[in-house]
Amino acid sequence: MASSKKLKSMVKMGIKILLLAVVTSFSFLLFSPPPKSFYHTLFISTALSDNVSAAQHLWTLTRRPHVAGSEANAEAAAYVLSIFTSCNIKAHIASYGVSLTYPVSRSLSLNRPPPDPPITFSLRQEIYDGDPYADVADQVLPTFHGYAKSGTATGSVVYVNYGRVEDYVMLKEMGVNVSGSVVLARYGKIYRGDIVHNAFEAGAIGALIFTDRKDYGGGSGDARWFPDDKWMPPSGVQVGSVYDGVGDPTTPGWASTEGCERISDEEVDKTGYIPRIPSLPISAQDGHTIMRSVEGQVANQDWQGDKDAPVYRIGPGPGVVNLSYKGESVIATIQNVIGVITGTEEPDRFVILGNHRDAWTFGAVDPNSGTAALLELAERLEKLRKGGWKPRRTIVLCNWDAEEYGLIGSTEWVEENREMLASRVVAYLNVDSAVYGAGFSASATPQLDELLKQATQQVKDPDNSSQTVYDSWVGSSNSPVIGRLGGGGSDYSAFVQHIGVPSADFSFGEGYPVYHSMYDDFVWMKKFGDPLFQRHVAAASVWGLVALRLADEEFLPFNYLSYVSELQKSAKDLKDKVSGMGITLIPLFKAIEELAKAAIKIDSEKKAIIESKGWVSIWKKEHSRVRELNDRLMMAERAFTDRDGLAGRPWYKHLIYAPSKHNDYGSNSFPGIEDAIEEAKNLNTAESWLTVQHEVWRVSRAVRHVSLVLNGELT
Ligand SMILES: [Zn+2]
């Protein structure tokens, strides 16, 4: 940062302190503390927010590559800890020893039909003109897939589009045999672990996944890619994990504490979550070189690349690749940084905010835009406290490690603290990549929908001060699109899918092409992601405001009627899928109807308590009634979980939200029913359709349990 900026920020800070002093003395004059909503408005005001501070945090966090288990990432943890501590937040590091993999060696060569000579690829991402990180570029890990299988594969190349199940169905129809070949797939539609898994299922012996300009490019003229435009450079490679599980693979279901039990490598293999064929991520330029060696049928139009790409053909061959990868597994120490602001009235109720810190490379977008927002948010909370604010419930700030490998830091922590969390957490609010451009998007468990809408109506759109974040989120439609948390995309997974905590996740931006490449650095953020860092500030505002309302409001701002309409929608979709198969959905529809009644009932109970209180707060007397009602609102989400979990995937306890079996990014409703339908469609036996019916019953029972919890009466 330039020193003139520092001066400006100091002046700005002075004005803010003055303002705070005025606010504080004004409240003294009134002889009673201002209402909580006063502080919430103050929290999102320009008096407290600080874009320069957010930028400084991001710059510091992304000075070096900091993959999980590295010394640089331990240093970043120490930095986060120091900021929490400087904000008077009681903070500590929760460490785990977890199994991570790092690349030892890898190579890729291509034998082409004559006259083209064989090629050995360098597999290097090139530094760019003026790259300020050239001095630490050699600290970026060689391009690889986390948890990839070590081994060699030599085979003819088959192009498989995005590597989805339906792409293989198409190849089969075209009469193409993938067996014994090395597949060339492109990124962009499904989780890379599933690309490798689907390739294995189709009989391939290795997988190469390239970044296609069609999906990650777009510039024209001289400014075709970073640093001239936001797009992925030709040598850019998207690295990432190919692990299909959640948490440390050697401690399934329990925490990786010191000296803990671990399963053997053979047992890890048996789980089926680790790929069984070697794979490598490659650049657009290498992908195209390989593509030029592939002949055979011309691929369909929607399988082709952009206008400058060669013609994509299916193969097999005649190009033959030789892929070799060797990785090493180590038990690495990871650090979650946990900061706690204890609540004054209900210290045993937690509102948890989480973001991961580990990055495949520099991590300016993924994830440290979120970390910068978290730290700026922490600073604002400290300013609020200086102004007299105290939270009713406890606020916990979590900075996770090893998310990139498989949501490991958050999962181990949730597994270790499972019962405490299951009985005390009001909500979990996740932000991974906070900012990669303009435009807000959010996902949540549905009882939080209303709260998200209200909070975004209070925060100014960082790209258009004449409207709110809500206005830009809604756009021209009537209500915003709220995603759901069925995917395995980030650290909310253990909270929602394992223990049933109401959760939300949000970000600003619409995809970013340099994702998981060496070019996800501070320069990219400054030029394209958020030049003024006002989007970081808005992210912290929405995140913090939602947290403050959950932490401070007497009644938890949950609305289960949104859940009802969401479940109704999903159940109606289901109807078409099982029509004519003798499946009855009556128990499910009945259970959802009961839930609607319970949601309305608890709402009127709440109103009755408020009315009986009159205009003078008699909190003490009403305390136990309010608290009992809040407990029902909090625990209702837990009732969507089932002890046994999904069939064959017992870690996933939530019967409404879990990843789909063939795409970890997918967000299905009723994953157990969906899996059973898929199986029944394959087998088409009476027994397999009975399993579908059983899964419908299971979901119906879970939904009924939710009603019972909301009603709060024994049967
Ligand atoms: Zn991330």
**596-612 confidence digits (pLDDT tens):** 999 999 999 999 998 88
DSSP-based three-state secondary structure for 415: helix
Q: How remote is the CA of residue 346 from the centroid of ligand 1, in Å?
A: 32
- State pLDDT tens for residues 386-440: 999 999 999 999 999 999 999 999 999 999 999 999 999 999 999 999 999 999 9
Q: Within 13 Å, how many C-alpha atoms sit on residue 674's CB side?
A: 19
- State pLDDT tens for residues 638-651: 999 999 999 999 99
Q: How remote is the CA of residue 435 from the centroid of ligand 1, in Å?
A: 11
Across the range 96-107, mean pLDDT stands at 98
Please give the mean pLDDT across all residues of the chain: 93
403 is annotated as an active-site residue: yes
Given a cut of 70, is residue 9 above it in pLDDT?
no
Q: Within 13 Å, how many C-alpha atoms sit on residue 622's CB side?
A: 19
Given a cut of 90, is residue 33 above it in pLDDT?
no
Q: Which of 30-34, 90-94, 230-234, 601-605 has the lowest mean pLDDT?
A: 30-34
Q: How remote is the CA of residue 705 from the centroid of ligand 1, in Å?
A: 34
Handedness of CA 629, 630, 631, 633 (dihedral sign): positive
The residues spanned by each domain of the chain are: 37-99+332-511+521-552, 101-330, 560-711
Q: How remote is the CA of residue 226 from the centroid of ligand 1, in Å?
A: 21
Per-residue tokens: 326:
């060797």
On whether the pTM is more than 0.85, the answer is yes
Q: How remote is the CA of residue 412 from the centroid of ligand 1, in Å?
A: 17
- State pLDDT tens for residues 224-238: 999 999 999 999 999
- State pLDDT tens for residues 303-347: 999 988 999 999 999 999 999 999 999 999 999 999 999 999 999
Given a cut of 70, is residue 158 above it in pLDDT?
yes
CATH class of the domain whose range is 37-99+332-511+521-552? alpha beta
On whether the CB atoms of residues 546 and 395 are closer than 8 A, the answer is no
pLDDT band at 32 (very low <50, low <70, confident <90, very high): confident
Report the share of the chain in percent with pLDDT over 90: 87
pLDDT band at 221 (very low <50, low <70, confident <90, very high): confident
Query: 332 forms bridges with which residues in the sheet?
Result: 98
Higher pLDDT, 380 or 5: 380
pLDDT band at 2 (very low <50, low <70, confident <90, very high): very low
b/e sequence 169-192, b meaning 16+ C-beta within 10 Å:
ebbeeeebebeebbbbbbbbbbbb
Given a cut of 50, is residue 1 above it in pLDDT?
no
Given a cut of 70, is residue 7 above it in pLDDT?
no
- Alpha carbon separation from 629 to 449, 609, 624, 634, 638 (Å, rounded): 20, 10, 9, 9, 15
Q: How remote is the CA of residue 50 from the centroid of ligand 1, in Å?
A: 23
Given a cut of 70, is residue 586 above it in pLDDT?
yes
Cα radius of gyration (the chain): 26
Across the range 507-521, mean pLDDT stands at 95
Residues 169, 615: Cα–Cα separation, whole Å: 66
- State pLDDT tens for residues 539-554: 999 999 999 999 999 9
Q: What pLDDT was estimated at residue 29? A: 52
Residues 123, 208: Cα–Cα separation, whole Å: 12
Q: How remote is the CA of residue 367 from the centroid of ligand 1, in Å?
A: 5
Given a cut of 70, is residue 30 above it in pLDDT?
no
Q: What pLDDT was estimated at residue 20? A: 60
Report the share of the chain in percent with pLDDT over 70: 93
Across the range 196-210, mean pLDDT stands at 97
Single out the catalytic residue among 376, 403, 674, 679: 403
The third-level CATH classification (topology) of the domain covering 101-330 is Glucose Oxidase; domain 1 (3.50.30)
Q: How remote is the CA of residue 77 from the centroid of ligand 1, in Å?
A: 16
Angle between the N-to-C axes of helices 534-552 and 449-458, in degrees from 0 to 180, rounded to the nearest 10: 130
DSSP string, 133-164: TGGGGGGSPPS-EETPPPEEEEEEEEE-TT--
Given a cut of 90, is residue 626 above it in pLDDT?
yes
Torsion of CA 162, 167, 172, 176, to 10 degrees: -20
Judge whether 37-99+332-511+521-552 and 101-330 match in fold: no
Q: What pLDDT was estimated at residue 222? A: 77
Q: What pLDDT was estimated at residue 666? A: 61
Q: Which of 348-352, 466-470, 487-491, 502-506 has the lowest mean pLDDT?
A: 487-491
Residue owning tokens 């050239």 = 134
Kindly report the backbone phi and psi dihedral angles of residue 550, in degrees, each rounded to the nearest multiple of 5, phi listed first.
-65, -35
Across the range 689-699, mean pLDDT stands at 97
Q: Which of 281-290, 544-553, 609-618 has the lowest mean pLDDT?
A: 609-618
Given a cut of 60, is residue 630 above it in pLDDT?
yes
Q: How remote is the CA of residue 475 from the centroid of ligand 1, in Å?
A: 26
Q: How remote is the CA of residue 605 from the centroid of ligand 1, in Å?
A: 41
Please name the CATH architecture into which domain 560-711 falls. Up-down Bundle (1.20)
